[in-house]
Chains A and B, each alone.
Chain A
Amino acid sequence: DGGITQSPKYLFRKEGQNVTLSCEQNLNHDAMYWYRQDPGQGLRLIYYSQIVNDFQKGDIAEGYSVSREKKESFPLTVTSAQKNPTAFYLCASSLQGSGYEQYFGPGTRLTVT
Chain B
Amino acid sequence: SQQGEEDPQALSIQEGENATMNCSYKTSINNLQWYRQNSGRGLVHLILIRSNEREKHSGRLRVTLDTSKKSSSLLITASRAADTASYFCATGAGSYQLTFGKGTKLSVIP
Distance from B94 Cβ to chain A, minimum over Cβ atoms (Å): 7
A50 contacts which chain B residues (CB < 8 A)? 96
Asked if B102 and A41 sit within 8 Å, CB to CB, the answer is yes
Which residues of A in the span 63-113 have a Cβ within 8 Å of any Cβ on B? Answer: 88, 90, 92, 96-107, 109
Say yes or no: A98-B45 contact (C-beta < 8 A), given A42-B102, A107-B40. no
Interface size of B by CB at 8 A reads 29
Asked if A101 and B42 sit within 8 Å, CB to CB, the answer is no
A100 contacts which chain B residues (CB < 8 A)? 48
Tell whether A31 is near chain B: CB-to-CB under 8 Å: yes
Binding site for B on A (CB under 8 A): 4, 6, 31, 33, 35, 40-45, 48, 50, 56, 58-59, 88, 90, 92, 96-107, 109
Binding site for A on B (CB under 8 A): 1-2, 4, 30-31, 33, 35, 40-45, 48, 50, 88, 90, 92-103
B31 contacts which chain A residues (CB < 8 A)? 98-99
A104 contacts which chain B residues (CB < 8 A)? 35, 42-44
Asked if A97 and B42 sit within 8 Å, CB to CB, the answer is no
B30 contacts which chain A residues (CB < 8 A)? 98-99
A92 contacts which chain B residues (CB < 8 A)? 42-43
Say yes or no: A59-B1 contact (C-beta < 8 A), given A31-B96, A42-B100, A43-B88. yes
